[in-house]
């Protein structure tokens, strides 16, 4: 009895998808868009923080001794935070 119900539900779902003209390409485009947007968030976060640290370093003229390695480390951490924010925002918007 349960198998018949499951099979009937699957048939109904397949028919519904045929009627709605379900498109796999649309889903692939959405995934590619999400990945590209995520990479954009990472790049912008890294670049912005690196630029701010370079400006602070040049303006302070020796008061703040920042090495390039520490600037890159802070910028990478900031980029990871930006990526985490994007993922949180994406998950939060899908719940609604």
E strand or H helix at 47: helix 24-60
User: For residue 14, what pLDDT is reported?
Assistant: 73
Distance between alpha carbon 62 and the CA centroid of its chain, in Å? 37
Q: CA-CA distance, 12 to 16, in Å (whole number)? A: 6
Report, in this order, helix, strand and coil percent for the chain, each rounded to 5: 90, 0, 10
Domain ranges across the chain: 25-95
Q: What is the pTM of this model?
A: 0.64
Cα 56–78–75 angle (5° rounding)?
A: 50
Going residue by residue through the chain, which has 96 residues, state the pLDDT in tens, using 9 for 90 and above.
555 676 677 777 777 766 666 655 667 788 888 889 999 999 999 999 999 988 888 888 767 777 889 889 999 999 999 999 999 988 888 776
């Amino acid at each position: 009895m349960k198998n018949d119900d499951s099979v009937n539900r699957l048939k109904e779902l397949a028919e519904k998808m045929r009627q709605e003209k379900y498109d796999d390409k649309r889903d692939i485009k959405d995934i590619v868009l999400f990945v590209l947007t995520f990479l954009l968030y990472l790049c912008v976060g890294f670049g912005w923080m690196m630029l701010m640290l370079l400006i602070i370093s040049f303006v302070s003229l020796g008061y703040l001794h920042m090495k390039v390695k520490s600037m890159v480390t802070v910028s990478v951490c900031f980029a990871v935070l930006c990526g985490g924010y994007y993922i949180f925002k994406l998950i939060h918007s899908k719940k609604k």
